[in-house]
Structures are given as C-alpha cells and as structure tokens.
Structure 1
Amino acid sequence: MTLSRRVMVAGLGALAAPFVPPPPAPRPVAPGPPAVPAGRTPDQLARDEGFWSAVARQYRVSPDFVNLENGYYGIMPEPVRRAYHRNVDHLNEVNSRLLRTTYKDQADQVRERIATLLGVSMGEIALTRGGTEALQNLIAGYRRLRPGDAVMYTDLDYHSARYAMNWLRDRRGVRVERMAVPEPATHQAVLDAYAEALRDRPRVKLLLLSHMNNVTGLVLPVREIVAMARDRGVDVIVDSAHSWGHLDFTMDDLGADFAGFSLHKWMGVPLGAGFLYIKKDRLPDIDLAFADETYPGDDIRSRVHSGTLDVAPVLTVGAALDFHDALGGAVKQSRLRFLRDRWVHQVHDLPNLEILTPEDPAMYGTITAFRVAGHISEADNVAIAKELFDRHHIFTVRRGGPVKGDCVRVTPALFTSRDDVDLLARALRGIASRMRG
C-alpha cells in the first residue's frame, strides 16, 4: 500500500512530538474499607465482628484453609491489588519512558507519604526492595567499626540480619557477640538482660535490635534499650519490618538513628517494597552503597543501589497507605492484639503449652508463638504444624532460633475472624492434651 505524502508527514510529526505518558485509565475498583464509626474507641471496635467482616471482604483469600501464617507476606486488600495491576499494565505499556520521567517524582511522593506517617523528613527515607535489603545496607554500610570492636545480636533477631552482622567479622575485623532474650520475657527482664549484656561486653559498638521479632512476636522496649546503648557509646540498628503497619508508632517512639522497614508485610504493599531510615545528621556514618555516584553523598538514596527494579510495587504504596489511613493505625493495632488475646486466653490454662509472648500489651501485637513442653526439636514443631493443617486445615509455621527450643508461630491478619482463632484454640487443646498423655 502506498502512503500519501500528507499521511507520511503527519506520521513523522507525531514521532517528533514529545511524548508524556498518560496516567493509567481509571477502572472500577473494589470499595474501600468500611468507615470507622465515630465515638468508638479502637479497643471497642476491635471486638465488633460485623465491622471486621466488612474489612475481611476487602481481601481475596482461599476458602480451603485458615491462614494463620500471615507474617511472611501480608496480602493486598482489593483496592491495592487492583491498583497494582493497573501499575503493572501501565509500566508494561509505557516502558522505560515511565522509568526515565515521571517515576522519579512519583517515588519522591511515596517517600514523602512514608516520612509523614513515620514523623520524619523525606530526606531521611530511602526506598528498598524490602526490609532485608534495608537492614543489609545499614549493617554493611556502618562506618564506625574498627578492628577489635564488637557487634551484637540476639537469638530472636532476623536470620538475614544476623548473617549480615556475622559478615562484619571478616570485613571489619570485629567480634560478633550473641545474647539470648529471656524466657519468660517481661519488660524488666528484657531491660536487665540488655543492660547486663552491654555491661559485660564493653567492646560492643553496634547492636541489632528487633522491634517485633519474626520468631515469637515479642515486642521490645526499643526506646529504653536505645537510650541504654547510647549511654555506652553503642549505635543501634532497629529492625521494624514486622512492626510497621502493625503497631501504631512514629520514629520518635523508637528514638533510634537507623532502622529498616518492610512495606509488603503489614502495610499490604505488593511484594518487593521496603525502606530504610537514617537520621539526617547520621548519614555520614553509613557508606555509599557500592560507591554509588547516581546521587550526591548527602542524599540518602546514595545508600541504596538496587539496579533496575520492579517499580510497580512502589507506585502502589499510595493505595496501600490510603487503606491503612482509612482504618487507622490504632484501630489496626487493637484488632490484631484482640485476635492474639482471643486464642491465647483460651489455652492459657494448659500446663504443657508455653505461650512465648507475655501478658503485657506493650510487648506483643498479633504474632505469637507457642511451644508444647518437652517437644522442642525442629521435627516436633514441624509435626505440630503439619497436624494443624492436615486435621484442622489451619496453616501455621515452625520457627527455630530461641535458645530454649523451637516453636510454632501463629500470625492472624485483618481478614482473620474470631471463629478462625477459636478453631485454633480448640485444636491446640486437643494437641496439648494428647501430647501430655
């Protein structure tokens, strides 16, 4: 077919014109969460099963089993899932034009929203591909260690972060010290354990500290431990991967200068999103990532170098924060604690069932692990998790690490019902009784 000169000129003109990628076409989305009733406290609302049934309808979950293993990945509610699909499609359609133009401004808007919620400045936030990358960059980049110094972590800290601390032994010539979080844990027992460990190990200069650990769910008094460490000249890197979007707090509540966060756990962002925090005046104490030259040295983004990454999760953070804000951090925290209390209080009387978070609301959220006395091996706890699934269709996971033995972790979510955790309690009563006999 022969094209006319007019058509050809018009086509060439279109090619020469600057192209600005249009925003994704609006598409129908699922309604947001139900409006939070006025005049109700978070604790009152936590018990309103009708309200949480409406929240649960925002999630697409399998009806084939009760998922009580939501600590690995917090699935997206429907408005977020739909936004993610639009962002994936838009990225695929617009391609590198998006990456080289509007994405940078959009990423900064995400950083600004995160910073506002955390109570810090945007210049103290750098996006990462998850909490692990955030912690690895902070640990590996920490510049104030000298040969002969020591670093320290506990039996309950996240394994990938422990590996990074171990890595410092060969790379920085430091000693690696380990301590155990006391069982049973109380506020004072935890403070005493950290005070003793820091006193007896005067060469420690860097401490890894889990706000809420991924094994038992214990929440530590971070601000008090950070202050204690600072008095001894010890810097603290806080792992907040499990607490962000789960507990209601700001950075000031932690009092730390360095922290790593996940966005794909309790904020419900798609997999592959997190961020790190470095207090502005402490930026020089973290090295540039791989001598990064993309950003100037006084820009926190030079402390992360991820290469070309999937930006669709980042572009979806706003939708996830909208969902979080609609419910409110205090309301989410109260509901998640209620679900933990609901099943724990039904099995507290069992003499051979150990609950690994204390009855102190400041020291737990919804993650709680249990252990059957005398059954502390990996094989024992794999078998217990298997029985829960095979006989009761309840999905949990065995966790290792505590010095007193393995355990099974239970992690409800916002879509978990009262009936779901009641089912768990009944199952545990049967298992504990059989294993006691």
Structure 2
Amino acid sequence: MTMSRRRMLSALGGVGAAVGRDLPGSCCEFPSVPAGTDPEQPARDEEFWRTVARTYRVSPEFTNLENGYYGIMAEPVRRAYHRNVDRLNSDSSRLLRSTYKAEAEQIRQRIAAVAGVSAAEIALTRGGTEALQNLIAGYRRLQPGDTVMYADLDYQSMQYAMDWLRDRRGVRVEKIVIPEPATHEAVLEVYTRALRDHPRVRLLLLSHMNNRTGLVLPVRDIVDIAHTAGTDVIVDAAHSWGQLDFTIPDLGADFVGCSLHKWIGAPLGTGFLYIRKERLADIDPAFADQTYPATDIRSRVHSGTLDFAAVLTVPQALDLHRRLGAPTKQARLRFLRDRWVDQVKDVAGVQILTPDDPAMYGAITSFRISGRTTQADNEQISHELLQRHRIFTVRRGGPARGDCVRVTPALFTSRDDIDGFAAALRGLARRLHGSVRPSR
C-alpha cells in the first residue's frame, strides 16, 4: 500500500512538526524578547518558539540535530541575501567600486558593537577557519625552540595549522588531553600542569566551545593562567559566538576568531577575526598585503574576491540576533540540550560527554555508547538514527577516549523533536549496550 506524504510525515513523529515551516507563505515576522525579560521564561515557552520556527524553511523529511556545521538563515535573512545577490548581479563592479567599502565598514562597526570591541579591532573573513588560520600563521613572536600547544578537542583544521608551525617556525608542538568527565577544576589543572611542564610554550590554542563534544572551557581563567606563564592565547570562538552570552573582552584573550554563519545565522562564508589594538603588530600582514597600511587590521586578511552579497546580508542576521538576545538564545539551547540529556543519562551504556555544569555547555553535546568508540561504530549509530528515525546527527572523532556522536539542536528545534530523539536513543542504546563487544 502506498503511504501518503501526510501519513508518512505523521509516522515519522517529530519530523512531522516541521512541515509547516516549509510551506509557502508560512513565514511570519521574527519575534523579539523585551529588554529585561528573564531569559529562562521564554526558553520554555513552546508557543514562542513555534513562532521562531516559522521564520525558518527546513526540510520536513528529517529532524535536523546537526546544526553546528551551519546555522541556516531565517527567512528575513534569506530574502535579504537574495536581494543582495540580485543587487550585486545588477550593479556589478560599480557597486564594488563605489558604495561597498563604506557599507562593509558599517557592517564591521555593527559586528564590533555586538562583540563589545572597537571596529578597528575587527577584520571580516570568510569564516572562523580563515580567521584562525590567519592568526596562527601570522603570529610572529615564535623563535626556533619555542613550543606551541593545543588540545585533543580543538578543531582539526586548527590543529593542522599549529602543526604547520613546526616546519615553518622550528617550534615544538605539544598536544594535551582534556579529561573525561570534565570539570572546571580538572580542566584548569590540566592546563596549569601543561604550562608548568612546558615552560617554553609561547602560543596556546584554546577552543571556547569545541566542535567535538561541545564542552565549554573556562577560557578567561585559562587565559589568565597562560598570561602569567608568558604564553599568548588564540581563542577559537567559532561555535560559541552567537550561541553563548558573552562579549570578546569577557574572554581576556588578545586574538580571537569567530564565525558569522553558525549561530548568528548569516550566509555561508562570513566571519571575523579580532586582534586587540595594542597587539596588532604581533600578527603579520597576510602575504605582505599592502592594500591597507600595516597599522590597519584589515591588512591581516586578504581573501580575494568574497561573496559580497553574503557580507552585505550580515546586518539582517545581527538584527534577528538582537531581537532574541544572546541570553535568550543561550537559555533556549541549554533547555533543549538538558531535555534530551535528562532523558538518557541514566540509561545503561550512554555516556554524556559534557558535564552538568551549565557554564560548561550550550547547544552542542555529544554522547558515546559504552564499547562503541571507533569511527565505524559511531557512523553506524548516526546512520541508524537517520534510517530508523529520520534524525540527522554526525559522528565526531578526536577525543582521546574514542569517537562519539554529536547532537546539536537549533532555534527552530521543538520540544517534540527533542523528545523523539531521546526516545530513539534510549531504544538504540539498550539494544547496542546489550551486545557490546568484549574489550581486548
């Protein structure tokens, strides 16, 4: 018997709740949270978040719990992006050679205001990766014999960039392991001990929220420890900026890389780097760039021909971020994370890889099923969630104790979506944990 699309979506449970988001004309105006509102109040208001969800067009064919890779544009942003594509296609080089630079400068000022810094400390990039690569490659205070350091949970591409310094700068590279389970005290002890045992560490890479498990580090405390040891810190805030409630000065670091196409919801290919103005001279201009003087932070990035329409759309994404506010976004995303974690954390065999301390997680949390630590194991778990339940997650590698599956809700994720995932994981864990292969 052929199942109708309506019946099929109904049978898929939480997926069916997304249907209305994909219907023409279903988008409403993006709601706002009044200033002074306790963020915990709207965090649990499903009617409010249904209104938010209607401003996104998402596929009704699956429940997307892999929103860490790319934070899709809300409809007001998507429509603005299309208008900017049309404008660029119409006005072409005339736009780029006339008003674009002035508009880009205004956008830089908007970003700086949200970040809590001056526009002179911000340079636009094509994402967090480019921002961090330019900071790492351009850091000029390294001498042969110095040491650079990163952790097992840091982003793989940034680990590669730090490894690249070994051959280019003649430095030693040290990799440390973040403890499982992590606590505030245990994390600080690891970094304190590592910097004490390696007194020549000149540069430390630090992920505010890593992309593997979602653990949020006490960055300000670690930066203070590093600075006392004479170590500079580059902070990867690609996942945290726009998701957590903080400004760049809160981190205490002189060098930070951020993404705009994740939790701010701007078009793909947008981000920025931050260099505290007193430290600009410690990062080399990119490829000896002379487009801007060496005293201008924009000389630290040379991206070639950008997606100018994406850059011009950043203000619309910042507007929506402002309407909700970082405290409300943070509270809602933690609420969704807590809801599924609370339903599975006592299930035999399920390991949750972020602690219960709210200061150490946001939306992203990974899990592991005991005895299932390989890439193949976790790809199979993610595959089964998709094939059996139409729930999309992703396998993540890198943690010292083995691979895991990452779960990342978004602002359009409903409570029903989360409950459907929790039920699916409980059943999957009970089946797999009962057939765990004996360790050798």
TM > 0.5: yes
Structure 2 residue 234 is matched with structure 1 residue 237: yes
Deviations, residues 6-56 of structure 1 (Å, cap 9, x unaligned): xxxxxxxxxxxxxxxxxxxxxx99543123257741112100000000000
Given candidates 107, 112, 122, the residue that maps to 1:110 is 107
The offset of 1:351, in angstroms, is 2.6
Match of residue 157 from structure 1: 154
Alignment check: 8 A CA contact 2:64 2:392 kept = yes
Given candidates 208, 213, 217, the residue that maps to 1:216 is 213
Using the alignment, how far apart are the partners of 1:162 and 1:312 within structure 2? Answer: 31
The offset of 1:179, in angstroms, is 0.2
The DSSP-based 3-state class of the residue aligned with 1:390 is helix
Give the letter for the 1:110 counterpart.
I
Q: Structure 2 vs 1, CA of residues 398 and 104 (structure 1 numbering), >3 Å: closer, same or farther?
A: same
Match of residue 409 from structure 2: 412
Match of residue 271 from structure 1: 268
Structure 2 gap segments, 5+ residues each? 1-24, 435-440
Match of residue 393 from structure 1: 390
Using the alignment, how far apart are the partners of 1:35 and 1:195 within structure 2? Answer: 42
Match of residue 432 from structure 2: 435
The structure having more radius of gyration, on CA atoms, is 1
Given candidates 387, 399, 402, the residue that maps to 1:402 is 399
Using the alignment, how far apart are the partners of 2:303 and 2:365 within structure 1? Answer: 33
Given candidates 329, 332, 335, the residue that maps to 2:329 is 332
**1:278-289 maps to which residues of 2 (within 5 A)?**
278-289=275-286
Given candidates 334, 337, 342, the residue that maps to 2:339 is 342
Match of residue 17 from structure 1: none
Using the alignment, how far apart are the partners of 1:237 and 1:358 within structure 2? Answer: 24
The offset of 1:240, in angstroms, is 0.2
**1:38-437 maps to which residues of 2 (within 5 A)?**
40-437=37-434
Alignment check: 8 A CA contact 1:29 1:79 kept = no
Match of residue 13 from structure 1: none
Q: Structure 2 vs 1, CA of residues 293 and 29 (structure 1 numbering), >3 Å: closer, same or farther?
A: farther
The offset of 1:348, in angstroms, is 1.2
Give the letter for the 2:275 counterpart.
I
Deviations, residues 70-104 of structure 1 (Å, cap 9, x unaligned): 00000000000000000000001000111111010
Alignment check: 8 A CA contact 1:31 1:79 kept = no
Alignment check: 8 A CA contact 2:28 2:51 kept = no
| C-alpha RMSD of matched pairs (Å) | 1.2
Q: Stretches of 4+ moved more than 6 A in 1?
A: none
Percent of pairs with identical residues:
71
The DSSP-based 3-state class of the residue aligned with 2:272 is strand
Give the letter for the 1:41 counterpart.
D
Aligned positions, number: 410
Using the alignment, how far apart are the partners of 1:29 and 1:98 within structure 2? Answer: 33
The farther-off stretch of 35-44 and 239-248 is 35-44
Alignment check: 8 A CA contact 2:396 2:403 kept = yes
Structure 2 residue 32 is matched with structure 1 residue 35: yes
